[in-house]
Amino acid sequence: MLNTTPTLYDDVAEVLISEEQIQQKIAEIGARICTDFAGEQILIVAVLKGALLFLADLIRHIDLPLAIDFLAVSSYGAGTESSGVVRILKDLDETIEHQNVIIVEDIVDSGRTLDYLLRMLRQRNPATLHVCTLLDKRERREIDVPIDYVGFEVPDAFVVGYGLDYAEHYRQLPFIGVLKPEIYE
């Protein structure tokens, strides 16, 4: 008998980036970070909650001494647009002074969140400060932000999966996809 139970997968219109493509790319980024920071220690600052899956897979490809810390941010306002006003919901546990910091993000869209975080963290005097994002929605950029490691460039569409949510759902999908339009209605 056919299984007709509705699943999250039924809400997905299109898979933009497959699980295999994501994993392959993460292995490449991890290898680059290992080369770039050979002989050093690094501090990964992951931005909750979207970067969670990316972080977990990425660090398994980084064969260097590393520590992890978390920031939780939210931009004021609901919906699928970043308002540009960033609020820190959870700050780092430790100081970053004199450390090699790599910010790990799920996606850079307008660039406002990252711009805010870069300004904030620079003031704390890290030895180096780099940015690693899984996705780059470059077409939508409003503020020019330096990005050192990019997984994939994505088109101007709202994407979910692999950590990214729509109203807190779909984070657990192992791929990056686009939802069916009726989901947003």
Catalytic center residues: 109
Edge-first strand order for the sheet with 100-108 is: 86-90, 66-75, 42-48, 100-108, 128-136, 149-153
Residue 71 contacts ligand IMP per CB under 6 A: no
Pick the piece of the chain touching ligand IMP (CB under 6 A) from 10-18, 23-31, 34-42, 155-163.
155-163
Residue 50 contacts Mg ion per CB under 5 A: yes
Pick the piece of the chain touching Mg ion (CB under 5 A) from 60-68, 102-110, 119-127, 173-181.
102-110
- CB 161 → ligand IMP: shortest distance, Å? 9
Nearest C-alpha neighbor of 153 from the set 168, 138, 163: 138
- CB 76 → ligand IMP: shortest distance, Å? 11
Residue 152 contacts ligand IMP per CB under 6 A: no
Nearer to ligand IMP, 37 or 46 (CB): 46
Distance CA 5, CA 19 (A): 23
Distance CA 105, CA 49 (A): 9
Residue 110 contacts ligand IMP per CB under 6 A: yes
Distance CA 98, CA 16 (A): 39
Nearest C-alpha neighbor of 49 from the set 107, 136, 9, 100: 107
Q: Contact positions toward ligand IMP, by CB under 6 A?
A: 50, 82, 105-114, 137, 158-160, 164
